[in-house]
């Protein structure tokens, strides 16, 4: 039940209800993010010239069949990893206080990007090994599309009135959120994240891919995504209400979100350095024929 009148209540979090079933913007954001991401990756794969410096390459390093299977497992990794990560990083006590809520409470929101990232990494590692495709090519494809889901997901957080910002009573665009027990005017930090982690990061990576063929340097797109997200998320944490209180020695200086971004920024910087140091791909990669045949027999 709402604790205070919200300054933003133009959109109901529930799109429609039929009996016990309710479709929420939060769920629709995940569904749309997956399908738009799949469409974008297929578009990249359909343009082999983006993956190599070769003038007329014959194939991208992966095909449509692999991308479709990959995205299925990415979806599983995001949902399972995101939920487990949220509970472990931010709601640890729920494991013994209300264990059923760990599963049933997913309809209320409560997903961790960093947990979802771990789930996606596992999906990429397993599928890349099974299909014998270079892991960095796989991660570059996924990294190029991920900001689409982040943009839609943060907008859904805003509509849900969750993950709001810190109090900012003098801010002209400050808002109240219905479930805020303090009923305070706050930063709409969800919109900050949607803009930076979603729109800006998507545009930056797309510019590098389509203008400079960044996919021809395996790991570059992944590195830009990891470092870019880490920097943007750590910056927005300055305005966002912390999800979890830190020890007294760290209180007011860093948040859990900032700490989780440190390894992302470090890994991203390393991948960028590594990809720029290594010569770009000069010949197109191809799927191994024996792997494709084995999958057709199994189908």
Binding site feature residues: 154
Cβ(32)–Cβ(75) below 8 Å: no
Structure tokens at 291: 């792997």
Cβ(6)–Cβ(175) below 8 Å: yes
Helix residue spans in the chain (DSSP H): 25-45, 64-90, 94-97, 101-104, 113-131, 135-160, 189-193, 201-212, 220-236, 256-277, 289-298
**Other C-beta atoms within 10 Å of 260: how many?**
20
Cβ(226)–Cβ(267) below 8 Å: yes
What does each C-alpha distance from 88 to 97, 98, 139, 233, 262 come to in angstroms? 13, 13, 25, 19, 18
Q: Shortest CA distance to 6 belongs to which of 156, 126, 185, 171?
A: 185
Dihedral sign for Cα atoms in the order 167, 171, 175, 176 = positive
DSSP for residue 108 = G
């Amino acid at each position: 039940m709402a604790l205070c009148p919200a300054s933003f209540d133009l959109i109901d979090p529930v799109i429609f209800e039929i009996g016990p079933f309710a479709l929420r913007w939060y769920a629709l954001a995940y569904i749309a993010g997956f399908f738009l991401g799949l469409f974008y990756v297929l578009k990249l794969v359909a343009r082999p010239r983006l993956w190599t410096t070769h003038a007329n390459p014959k194939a991208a390093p992966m095909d449509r069949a692999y991308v479709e299977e990959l995205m299925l497992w990415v979806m599983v990794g995001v949902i399972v990893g995101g939920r487990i990560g949220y509970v472990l990083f931010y709601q640890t006590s729920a494991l013994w206080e209300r264990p059923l809520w760990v599963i049933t409470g997913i309809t209320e929101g409560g997903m961790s990007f960093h947990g979802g990232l771990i789930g996606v990494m596992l999906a990429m590692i397993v599928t890349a090994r099974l299909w014998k495709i270079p892991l960095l090519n796989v991660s570059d494809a996924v990294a190029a599309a991920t900001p689409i889901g982040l943009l839609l997901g943060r907008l859904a957080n805003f509509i849900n009135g969750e993950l709001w910002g810190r109090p900012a009573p003098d801010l002209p665009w400050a808002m109240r959120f219905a479930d805020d027990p303090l009923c305070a005017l706050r930063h709409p930090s969800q919109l900050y994240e949607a803009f930076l982690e979603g729109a800006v990061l998507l545009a930056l990576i797309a510019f590098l891919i389509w203008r400079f063929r960044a996919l021809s340097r395996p790991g570059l797109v992944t590195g830009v995504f990891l470092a870019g997200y880490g920097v943007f998320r750590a910056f927005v944490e300055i305005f966002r209400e912390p999800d979890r209180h830190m020890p007294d020695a760290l209180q007011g200086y860093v948040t859990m979100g900032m700490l989780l971004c440190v390894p992302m920024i470090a890994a991203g910087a390393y991948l960028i350095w590594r990809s720029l140091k290594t010569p770009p791909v000069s010949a197109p990669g191809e799927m191994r024929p024996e792997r494709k045949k084995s999958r057709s027999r199994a189908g």
